[in-house]
Amino acid sequence: MRTIERDTVVDAVAKLCIDANRYLPADVRRAFEAAQAKEDNPVAKEVFRQLLENADLAEKSGLPLCQDTGLAVLFVEVGEEVAVNGGLRDAINEGVRKGYADGFLRKSSCDPMTRANRGDNTPAIIHFDVVPGDTLKISFMAKGGGSENMSRVTMLAPSQGYEGIKDFILDRVAEAGPNPCPPILIGVGIGGTFENAAILSKKALLRELDDTHPDPETAAKEKELLQLVNDLGIGPMGLGGKTTCLAVKIAMAPVHIASLPLAVNIQCHSARHKEVTL
């Protein structure tokens, strides 16, 4: 059994929180540049110019890319042969506490009823997966409220199939319109159970924007959905244009014979995430 010191996890998570909020991922920057070149609407072009300038400024000034530095969502793959001194969950929460304080990030976690701010952005939302091996892979995502509020889970009937899935996604994006900071990313979770679909839809957003799904049929669906969403013409910031969405990412799981759960997780344009393996 390999042992990792608590401080190693705390410091690594704190760094993930700060870096993910400050540096625009390279794949997102490439997508902005490609979209800016493709747009012929001057307003859409201007939005991308501002977003690229914003990314440069954040990097230079150390300010976060966006004022909504999110709830801290962590996907953790824990090797069966690794342990953390003092407990993994506590170490992760301490890392989030430290990262949001040291990085001057906004603390957005509050009581759901009284709305009193908890002051340190904990508890983090943590999804653990046990995997073979003796390493710890921690993926951090800063999930802002504006885009999260536009996300939905639904339970389709199996007879509704891919057509039903397609209609639901397009309706969701049209209804969300300018609210979630388009151009958006769309994570789609299909199958499993109610809660499983939701987690799949969010985990799908950790993939690189320009990767291709390993299953050719799913890859084709991602491409088709991206085209259909962009044909809505909502455009960057909802001000019209060719780029409503930068990528659609699908994740699937086997499902009950009676069910077809579907989750659509909408992510804002800056798609802040970062991972580390310890």
Partner 1 sequence: MAEYHLTTPLTDEDIAPLKSGDVVFLSGTIYTARDAAHKRLVDTLDRGEELPFDLKGAVVYYVGPTPPPPGRPIGSAGPTTSYRMDAYAPRLYSLGLKASIGKGRRNDEVKQALKDYTAVYFGGTGGAGALLSQKIKAAEIVAYEELGPEAIRKLTVEEFPVTVINDSHGGELYVTAKR
| Sites of contact with partner 1 (CB under 8 A) | 41, 43, 47, 50-51, 53-54, 57-58, 61-69, 104-108, 115, 117, 119, 145-146, 149, 177-181, 233-235, 237-242, 268-270
Nearer to partner 1, 26 or 43 (CB): 43
Nearer to partner 1, 14 or 190 (CB): 14
CB of 222 to partner 1, least distance (A): 23
3-state secondary structure of 46: helix
Nearer to partner 1, 131 or 226 (CB): 226
Residue 185 Cβ, how far from partner 1 at the closest point, in Å? 13
Q: How far is the CB of 178 from partner 1 (least distance, A)?
A: 5
Question: Alpha-carbon distance 159 to 173, whole Å?
Answer: 23
Q: Strands 82-84 and 2-4, how do they pair?
A: parallel
In the chain the beta strands, taken as DSSP E runs, fall at: 2-4, 71-79, 82-84, 125-131, 136-143, 152-156, 184-192, 245-255, 260-267, 273-277
CB of 133 to partner 1, least distance (A): 37
CB of residue 145 to partner 1, shortest distance in Å: 8
Q: Which CB sits closer to partner 1, 87 or 233?
A: 233
Give whichever of 4 and 51 is closer to partner 1, judged by the CB atom: 51
| CA–CA separation, 154 and 197 (whole Å) | 9
Distance CA 167, CA 244 (A): 17
Distances (CA, A) of 266 to 56, 184, 247: 25, 7, 11
